[in-house]
Amino acid sequence: MGIPPIDAELALAEMQARRAQVVDSNLVPNWFWGAVAALMVLFTVAIESAIPWLIGAGTIAYVLGLAAVVVALVRTARVQVRSTLLGTRGILTILGFAGVLTAIGLALGFALDAADVAFPATLAMLPVAAGMAFGGPRLMSHLRALMLSRPLAGDR
């Protein structure tokens, strides 16, 4: 005696809904990207100012701000996404995102420094921060689609 097709269909729909719930509860929220981007810019401004008290205050603000953002992020995460759900493509996407932002920041920073532009690191950080603030949510959307497109049983 087999399982009626409607019961199998309902069970599959329930598993897909639960997986979507797990994926959605573990994506990095949009506010995180803008908060980290703003902290990076403020920290870079403080360091590049070369004013000792501003460097100290900026460093403390960055450390405390980043700690607060990470604590808030950890408190919103209910479960841990397994790497099998993320897959190789997801991991490579994350590494590519970080690599592109790093390359942009370094290349622009060195080019601005070579051109003797004032505050080259701060100016180079601006497009990197914009990339994080606007690209981070798009990255999460892409990763969500990747995770939801994977087979329910994973790659075996």
Per-residue pLDDT tens digits for 106-122: 999 999 999 999 999 99
User: pLDDT tens for residues 66-75?
Assistant: 999 988 888 8
**Which of 31, 106, 15, 102 lies closest to 73 in space, CA to CA?**
31
Domain boundaries in the chain?
25-149
Q: What is the pLDDT of residues 34-59, one digit of tens each?
A: 999 999 999 999 999 999 999 999 99
Distance between CA 19 and CA 54 in Å, rounded?
A: 47
pTM of the predicted protein model:
0.78
